[in-house]
Amino acid sequence: MIDANTPTPPVNDAHKEGVLYIGMDLGTSRTSISSSNGVRETVLSFVGYPKDIVSQKLIKADRLFGKEALDKRLSVNLYRPLEHGVIKGSAQKSDAYEDNLRAARDLVKHAISLAKPRKDELIYGVIGVPAQASINNKEAIIDAAKEHLDSVMLCSEPFAVAYGLDRLEDVLVIDIGAGTTDLCRMYGAMPEEGDQITLPYAGDYIDQKLLELLRAKCPEADFNMNMIKVIKERYAFVNDFSQPVIVELPVNGKPTAFDITDEVRASCRIIVAPIVEALHRLIASHDPEFQYRLRNNVLLGGGGSQIIGLGDAIEREMAEKLGGGRVHTVEEPIYCGANGALKVAHDMPAEYWQQLS
């Protein structure tokens, strides 16, 4: 198993013929792939298996993926096999671990199929994982991928973002996913363990807080976590001023309008302070001569970077806690991790991949 703490071999553009290279962001909420044949696809990280003979007849398939699985969740045993960026139960090998590992394997296989590999091609893949994923978690992801990839390596998600954008020096990367927010300090060399931080304050954390706030604001309304996620993805913002967020929630079966502007803003803002605290730790522990460069070169990526006004909110918090800072948001938040992983795959010489096979 190779991860981002392993020294990178020299770049070699002479790739082996008959090989499809894939970069994969295996995320808690969605899985995105970029491949060397130009295909880029993303799928929600859900896998569904028919509950019984009736659902089997309805679905006409052994398994469903993504939005289709989510939409048919009453007819299937639904799995979201990743939690906090790793396979559920991989740390303790819990009772549900084998079921989630099976679902993760099927999800990886499905994601690879989206790249449309030829039958005669070998498939070499780089998969992004949380910055501080444990050995058990990394082994679980390798287990999920090795049946469908001829050779596989792992790298940290924020490292992949930086690598894909050629931002390898004097930059602090923030990658906000559903399960984790990962930070990485880049300074022209391979980042070490102390250069990376993983936080649990990410998309799922926002969803849970919004759920709690809406239960308090609208106790008579009926809603579930999936409805909360849809609301957040449509309206998420942290600005002081915004158009009112008005949603309809059922009350005794009747659609009823609620103004939830303050609740959406408050739940999204809750991740700002922990992120800036982590930035502070990475900046303060860096070489003092170069700290100002990191402070003024923060790169915000991942699905969470799409929260309206988040970069500005982080800058304001940095001004108060760190005396200033500049935040730049990536242009392709859904694919920045997969694009970077693909670039890592391209830059590995053929003989290096053969050693991993």
Which domains are present in the chain?
25-166+335-356 (3.30.420.40), 171-201+270-329 (3.30.420.40), 204-267 (3.30.420.40)
DSSP of 160-227, one letter per residue? HHHHHTT--SSEEEEEE-SS-EEEEEESSS---GGGEEEES-SHHHHHHHHHHHHHHH-TT----HHH
Q: Does the pLDDT value for residue 91 go beyond 80?
A: no
Cβ-Cβ contacts under 8 Å for 76 (sequence gap 6 or more): 48, 49, 50, 51, 55, 59, 64, 69
Q: What H or E segment, with its residue span, contains residue 104?
A: helix 97-114
- Does residue 138 contact residue 104 with C-beta atoms inside 8 Å? no
Question: Global pTM?
Answer: 0.88
Give the DSSP letter of residue 308: B
Model pLDDT for residues 136-191, shown as the tens digit of each residue: 788 888 888 988 999 999 988 999 999 999 999 999 999 999 999 999 999 998 89
3-state SS class at 53? helix
Query: Which tokens in the block code for residue 229?
Result: 């996620």
CB-based contacts of 128, cutoff 8 Å, min separation 6: 23, 24, 25, 26, 154, 155, 156, 157, 160, 337, 338, 340, 341
Which pLDDT belongs to residue 2?
44
CA distances from 44 to 71, 92, 165, 220 (A): 11, 25, 24, 31
Per the prediction, the chain carries an average pLDDT of 90
User: What is the reported pLDDT for 105?
Assistant: 93
- Grouping H, G, I as helix, E, B as strand and the rest as coil, residue 311 is helix
* Tens of pLDDT, residues 196-214: 999 999 999 999 999 999 9
pLDDT at 6 over 50: no
Report which of 25, 34, 129 is spatially closest to residue 346, judged by C-alpha positions: 34
Lowest mean pLDDT among 2-6, 96-100, 127-131, 237-241: 2-6
Residue 10 has pLDDT above 70, yes or no: no
Q: Is the pLDDT of residue 355 over 70?
A: no
